[in-house]
Structure 1
Amino acid sequence: MSQFTLAAPKKTSLAILAAMAALCGPIAPAQAQTTFDVIGPHEYELPVGFKPFNVFVQYAYVQRNNKAFDDDGDRVKGSGANTTVGLSKYVRFWTPESNPSIGLAYEVIVPEIGVKDRSTSSQVSGIGDPLTGFAIWYKPTPSSTLGFQSFVQIPVGNDSVSDSNWKNLSSLLWDVRLTDKLGWTADAGFVFQNEKKDGSRPGTTFHTNHRLGYRVNGLLEPFVAVDYERSRKSSTVDSSHALDAGVGLMFHTFDNQSITLRYSKSIEGENHSFNNSVNLKYAYVW
């Protein structure tokens, strides 16, 4: 894998950054998907010692809410609504001149959300609660990355799609290039949130996300995905958890662009929506 130098980034390094561009994902509406499950292969394969650059990422997913998990962990009928979400992200990457062995990033994410319920012929849509925050990392070895990220989700979205409360999403992140073709990228962290407008206060959520990808050639990289989250019980909200698995394919299309497709489905859970989604990610570096 080509790496950044202090003089200038190589084009192959830009392709890697386009692949891993996003550093976080917001909590999906109605908890249809687990926290941070938008990540893909190379997500945290981050450089150090580079000149500042920018990344734009557009995520999109379609979730079919035809099933849900009840408090016994059984699969029951869901709402039947279809949720479509877009996530537009801008990220600024840089390295401190005083310490080029550390990398930094600051980003802003704006969700676009639409929910259509065919059973009632109703539909709501709007701009969701935006997120902003930072990440910091270093490379313990040339083939690994270890870092920390923290973001705030601000309840200023449209009333029809806003969660109506403040959130902090903080997690450790890591990436290990196991071989020249095989790589593992992952995170583990917590979501803290305050009371919603309806008086409910969700408990703290723990989450972890894992991607194992194999680069078969210069263009294609199939991968498997595992996502898990567990929320503690609070005085107003029951505890819940979900375990999801998925398969995907990453297209390393151009030196500074990439496209990633993934299908994700829940394996088991409790008091949680059933994930049944198709996910898309496009990343562009300049």
Structure 2
Amino acid sequence: MHTPFPQSRRAPKRVLALSSLCAALAVALPAQAQVTLDVIGPHEYDLPVGFKPFNVFVQYATFQNGSRAWDSRGDDRRAAEKTRTIVGMSKYVRFWTPESNPNIGLAYEVILPEVGVSNDATNTSNSGLGDPLTGPAIWYKPTPNSTLGFQTFFQIPVGNKDVGGGDVWKNLSSLFWDVQFQRFSYTADAGFVFFGESTAADARPATVFHTNHRVGYKLSDAVQPFIALDYERQGSWTNRATGVKVAASRETTAGIGVMFSYYGNQSITVRYSRGVSGEDHGMTNSFNLKYAYAW
């Protein structure tokens, strides 16, 4: 049975059975495809309190086939431009508990996206660093087998413009929660993406709402399959630089995956996700990898 971190001042041995806090892969992409924070895995928010400080490094990789899109009527159609996107994200997280209050946990993380995009219509490709993200998280445990917390990240517009970076500040803020049962686990979040003024659009894009859910079943200490459900919606807004009104958009995606834990401090998670409904949104068709190492 997977158990939460022990309530002690020692760093837990099996830290990677409890994945680190998530990152905003979707907002690092150059086009509107995939749901914000869909990178999370099972146990993502199964976090400790009362522990010695420790570190986590996470490497994400996502392969997105952008050949389909949702139109304004919710129909799945061929995208105007077929693209293939590969996104890597390198993340460092520092975890600690305040000496003054060992009943809460804290984390601070820095995330650097690496993006590559190929466009079949124009026979071109671009690659470079996306906009980095950084920010804190705080949580507590209402019961020994549950977690409730809040996280907020700022995405800084200093990335490569050819891969969607360098244009607009973003703030990603969300509540997260986790409940552990004997074999089942449930981890989830819900939050918003707030935008600053876009230089390219001469306007502030509409706020995005997103929510992400993972239900896992523990076959053994080393293997846990899971199902995924993700949703996001963005309101309409006007691009003042072009005078074009950007339609409201939404997408719901479903996925399946499995997490492998080994050596007590490492894990690999694989997942496939696909859009099941949407409007005016790129259709998700992605294969996702995640490697995590704690020390």
For normalisation by structure 2, the TM-score amounts to 0.93
Which position in structure 2 is the counterpart of 1:40?
A: 41
Which position in structure 1 is the counterpart of 2:20?
A: 21
- Counterpart amino acid of 1:240? S
SS of residue matched to 1:223: strand
CA contact (8 A) 2:83 2:119 kept: yes
Partners in 1 of 2:232 and 2:62 — Cα distance?
A: 19
- Give the counterpart of 1:224 among 211, 227, 232: 227
CA contact (8 A) 2:66 2:84 kept: yes
Matches within 5 A, 1:1-286: 1-12=3-14, 14-17=15-18, 20-26=19-25, 27-29=27-29, 30-78=31-79, 79-161=81-163, 162=165, 164-177=167-180, 179-199=181-201, 200-236=203-239, 237-286=246-295
**How far apart are 1:165 and its partner, in Å?**
0.2
CA contact (8 A) 1:22 1:57 kept: no
Structure 2: stretches of 5+ with no match in the other structure: 240-245
CA contact (8 A) 2:12 2:51 kept: no
Identity over aligned pairs, percent: 56
CA contact (8 A) 1:208 1:227 kept: yes
Q: 1:189 to 1:2 in 2, by over 3 A?
A: closer
SS of residue matched to 1:235: strand
CA contact (8 A) 2:4 2:145 kept: no
SS of residue matched to 2:16: helix
Partners in 2 of 1:107 and 1:28 — Cα distance?
A: 16
CA contact (8 A) 1:21 1:43 kept: yes
CA contact (8 A) 2:11 2:54 kept: no
Once the two structures are superposed, residues 3-52 of structure 1 have per-residue CA deviations (whole angstroms, 9 ceiling, x without a partner) of: 2343312313x2323xx113332414112110000000000000000000
SS of residue matched to 1:247: strand
CA contact (8 A) 1:243 1:268 kept: yes
Partners in 1 of 2:160 and 2:223 — Cα distance?
A: 38
The RMSD of aligned alpha carbons is: 1.2
**How far apart are 1:252 and its partner, in Å?**
1.0
For normalisation by structure 1, the TM-score amounts to 0.95
- Counterpart amino acid of 1:226? L
- Counterpart amino acid of 1:62? F
Structure 1: stretches of 5+ with no match in the other structure: none
Deviant stretches of 4+, over 6 Å: none
Once the two structures are superposed, residues 51-89 of structure 1 have per-residue CA deviations (whole angstroms, 9 ceiling, x without a partner) of: 000000000010000100111211121121100000000
SS of residue matched to 1:48: coil
CA contact (8 A) 1:263 1:279 kept: yes
